[in-house]
């Protein structure tokens, strides 16, 4: 795809490159879900392009550490965006929220930091305007989740859909 094709994808929100989709959803998470009225941003990992130049070890942490202004509790958020579900080898519809090794790493961060880690999962066509957002505690989570489990973790639904 040429420059103009990529530009059109970027403008329309249909970008297929994972780093663009990820950056867009991370912005949505920090501005809409964990906004600065209710949460302090304690830490944020570097973006894909910054880490290309020189990798920073703390980029292995989840994307954000927030502090709830009401309770003072700090917690980690890993933002993940998916277009939807797929059929696994048993013919069941599942959503892959992360790779098994990533989930192990998030659980290790939770153990070592003493702060809870959550995966904030967005689903839909455009990461700037997800259809639904789910907050999944890594404790007890699996890399692939069924629709029924995601229903339990729903925290936001796009009012325009």
pLDDT in tens, 64-113: 999 999 999 999 999 999 999 999 999 999 999 999 999 999 999 999 99
| Chain mean position to CA 129 | 13
Task: Indicate which CATH number applies to the domain containing 131.
Answer: 3.40.1350.10
Structural domain contains residue 72: yes
pLDDT in tens, 102-112: 999 999 999 99
Structural domain contains residue 1: no
Q: What span, in angstroms and rounded, lies between the C-alpha atoms of 80 and 98?
A: 8
| Chain mean position to CA 55 | 20
Which pLDDT score is estimated for 56?
62
Share of the chain above pLDDT 90, in %: 75
Structural domain contains residue 12: no
Structural domain contains residue 125: yes
Structural domain contains residue 10: no
Structural domain contains residue 6: no
Q: What span, in angstroms and rounded, lies between the C-alpha atoms of 122 and 128?
A: 10
Q: What span, in angstroms and rounded, lies between the C-alpha atoms of 74 and 78?
A: 14
> Within a 10 A sphere around the Cβ of 48, how many other Cβ atoms?
13
The whole domain housing 61 covers 18-157
């Amino acid at each position: 795809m040429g420059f103009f094709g990529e530009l059109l994808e970027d403008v329309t929100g249909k970008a297929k490159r994972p780093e663009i989709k990820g950056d867009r959803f991370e912005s949505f998470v920090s501005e809409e879900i964990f906004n600065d009225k209710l949460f302090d941003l304690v830490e944020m990992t570097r973006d894909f392009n910054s880490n290309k130049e020189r990798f920073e070890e703390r980029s292995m942490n989840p994307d954000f550490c927030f502090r709830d202004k009401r309770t003072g509790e700090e917690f980690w958020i890993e933002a993940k965006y998916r277009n939807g579900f797929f059929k696994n080898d048993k013919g069941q519809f599942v959503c892959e929220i992360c790779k098994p090794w990533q989930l192990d790493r998030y659980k290790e961060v939770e153990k070592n930091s003493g702060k809870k880690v959550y995966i904030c999962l967005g689903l839909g066509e455009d990461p700037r305007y997800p259809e639904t957002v789910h907050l999944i505690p890594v404790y007890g989570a699996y890399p692939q989740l069924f629709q029924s489990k995601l229903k339990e973790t729903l925290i936001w639904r796009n009012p325009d859909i």
